[in-house]
Chains A and B, each alone.
Chain A
Amino acid sequence: MEAVLAILIGLLVAASVYLMLAKSILRFLFGLILISNAANLLIFAAGRLTPGQPPLIPEGADAPFGTVANALPQALVLTAIVIGFGLFAFALVLAWRAYTELGTLDSDEMRLAEPREGGS
């Protein structure tokens, strides 16, 4: 299972790098969303996969019986997803504002803060 997940992470990263190399800010954002999902999967995989053994403590017991899945990476992934969600919501709003204010999503043409030499 780990191998499959590792290949999937690799594919996601490859696709996102391809997207992020584009000029358009929107494509860059899509790439960012993909790569953040890849990072989340990476943490998940780093915690080792234990299918079918949820980290739940049975009624009346103090500790789980036998091997259970590692709950910590799941907590980390959850935190990362929540934070990532907030950041992307902000980045999308910003991209929209940039499009309405600057009239372009082409990063080569966004030179308002750093005008070209000679004012062209």
Chain B
Amino acid sequence: MNSVILMAGSRILVALLLVFSVFMLLRGHNEPGGGFIGGLIGAVGFVIYAIACGTSSAREALRVPPETVAAAGLGVALLGGVWAAVDGDAFFTGQWLFLGATEDSKGLPLSSVLVFDVGVYLVVFGSILSLVFALEEEV
């Protein structure tokens, strides 16, 4: 598509969508959101970019092939599950790390669940983009 308005607009939109996708990913632990929806939103950012500027420049902007992102995501998600081995718990048991915890405050809770969610984010992001790019290039 060759639209100046879309091309100019897409630059802002892509950045906004990517930031929003990370926000959704992090918010997902206790509220609606999470890796899946975050990955979808992030993918939409690049899809808009691909529609505005073409898939080849979208691939360039992504730097790594989307399939690799998806595979790496699978690896990260697996790590989130295997992490439980460190403490001798069952596969996929949530592990917690409280940064700066004091008597009355939990500090910043980090968990293996978040690692798994990041993995899901990358898998969804990568697989949606590889599908969309493949289709865009076919048609």
Instruction: Say if the two chains contact directly (CB < 8 Å).
Output: yes
Residues of A within 8 A of B (CB): 82, 86, 89-90, 93, 96-97, 100
Contact B36 A93 (CB under 8 A): no
Residues B92-139 near A (CB distance < 8 A) = 127, 131, 134-135, 138-139
Q: Which residues of A contact B131 (CB under 8 A)?
A: 89-90, 93
Q: Which residues of B contact A100 (CB under 8 A)?
A: 138
Q: Which residues of B contact A90 (CB under 8 A)?
A: 131
Shortest Cβ distance from residue A32 to the other chain B in the assembled complex, whole angstroms: 17
Q: Which residues of A contact B135 (CB under 8 A)?
A: 93, 96
Interface residues on B, range: under 10
Cβ-closest chain A residue relative to B132 = A89
Contact B134 A93 (CB under 8 A): yes
Shortest Cβ distance from residue B42 to the other chain A in the assembled complex, whole angstroms: 16
Contact B36 A82 (CB under 8 A): yes
| Measured CA separation A96–B131 after assembly (Å) | 13
Would you call the interface of chain A mostly helix, strand, loop, or mixed? helix
Shortest Cβ distance from residue A71 to the other chain B in the assembled complex, whole angstroms: 13
| Measured CA separation A100–B134 after assembly (Å) | 14
Cβ-closest chain A residue relative to B127 = A86
| Measured CA separation A78–B134 after assembly (Å) | 26
A96-B36 contact given A86-B127, A89-B131, CB 8 Å threshold: no
Contact A96 B138 (CB under 8 A): yes
In order of increasing CB-CB distance, the 4 nearest A-B pairs are A89-B131, A93-B135, A96-B138, A93-B134
Cβ-closest chain A residue relative to B124 = A82
| Measured CA separation A100–B139 after assembly (Å) | 10
Shortest Cβ distance from residue B19 to the other chain A in the assembled complex, whole angstroms: 24
Q: Which residues of A contact B138 (CB under 8 A)?
A: 93, 96-97, 100
| Measured CA separation A86–B123 after assembly (Å) | 12
11 residue pairs from A and B, CB less than 8 Å apart:
A86-B127, A89-B131, A90-B131, A93-B131, A93-B135, A93-B138, A96-B135, A96-B138, A96-B139, A97-B138, A100-B138
Q: Which residues of B contact A97 (CB under 8 A)?
A: 138
Q: Which residues of B contact A82 (CB under 8 A)?
A: 36
Q: Which residues of A contact B134 (CB under 8 A)?
A: 93
| Measured CA separation A16–B139 after assembly (Å) | 27
| Measured CA separation A96–B139 after assembly (Å) | 9
Shortest Cβ distance from residue A80 to the other chain B in the assembled complex, whole angstroms: 13
| Measured CA separation A110–B134 after assembly (Å) | 24
